[in-house]
A = this chain, B = another copy of it.
């Protein structure tokens, strides 16, 4: 009847919590199943191993810890990690050196948003020694600065878009007929005059509207402009992410199963599942954590994913995070992901 406030939350006594916390911390540090004797020494509770064994039996009952075999100590389960990160974890403040490194390499080194994002991914991976991912900013945020059309052979047109932040996109579109360089130049001028500063999606809609409205009575230039722009600003659901440091994953014992690893790397290549997962965090308040099977993707079964959305202004434009073994140093990783998200947002805003 030790009715501590904390007990009610998840039906665990203060003592059980302390022991679970100690166990998880120890296991994260050493990677070995933790026995009752070790735990007795590690926790400051001054209890005998026997007592601790009783508590461990309870925790096992609750599915928070498990033992690989009868005589092997306990290991946290996914649920154990979950409870740990939710209510027991004390996050480590970042070393100032780390923060300033992040600031420097995100803010100063990188010129274009693309480079900033590359840096963010590399930094995440380098600092955590896990795989780093940064989802590319949503297209809504991208506004047009200038567009250029160049004629190619075979009814094709090379479209060059310069967007708000010195970012250049280019694509090739197929048109119904061949356009002359002069026609295309005039069309580009028209679009630049009319639409510069608006976001790409908006332009597409405006163009579509204009086409519907003025089917008949429009000048040659405008007709060309609209025909080309219609394709130039097309959907391009640019869902993609930048991955860095997947090699780090080769450093961990628990990733030694080469077939699992192959499937995981395959998922990185395919991108689809990872993107879906990242997408789920886009509406989260801050750092979000998927432990083991929680992610719902089989390839990530023995992995944890720590994510955070990042904002430009007050608008969430993307998600970043790290992927690594469930046994990771959450107390370090969480603040790193958190701070990187903030700094990436800041760096992208200041361009």
Contact = CB atoms under 8 A, between A and B. Distances in A.
A166 interface: yes
A32 to B, nearest CB: 20
Given A258-B256, A262-B250, A265-B247, A166 B172 contact: yes
A37 to B, nearest CB: 32
Given A247-B269, A265-B247, A265-B250, A170 B172 contact: no
Nearest to A159: B168
Contacts of A265: 247, 250
Contacts of A166: 150, 152, 156, 158, 172
Given A145-B150, A170-B168, A172-B111, A162 B162 contact: no
Looking at A146, A150, A247, the one whose CB has the most chain B CB atoms below 10 A away is: A247
A117 to B, nearest CB: 15
A179 to B, nearest CB: 15
A85 interface: no
Number of copies: 2
A271 to B, nearest CB: 13
Interface residues of A, number: 25
Contacts of A158: 162, 166, 168
A240 interface: no
A261 interface: yes
Contacts of A294: none
Nearest to A168: B170
A77 B111 CA distance: 50
Nearest to A247: B265
Looking at A145, A162, A250, A266, the one whose CB has the most chain B CB atoms below 10 A away is: A250
A160 interface: yes
Contact of A112 (B112, B150, B172, B256): B172
25 contacts: A111-B156, A111-B172, A112-B172, A145-B150, A148-B148, A148-B160, A150-B166, A156-B166, A158-B166, A160-B160, A160-B162, A160-B168, A166-B172, A168-B168, A168-B170, A247-B262, A247-B265, A247-B266, A247-B269, A250-B258, A250-B261, A250-B262, A250-B265, A251-B262, A256-B258
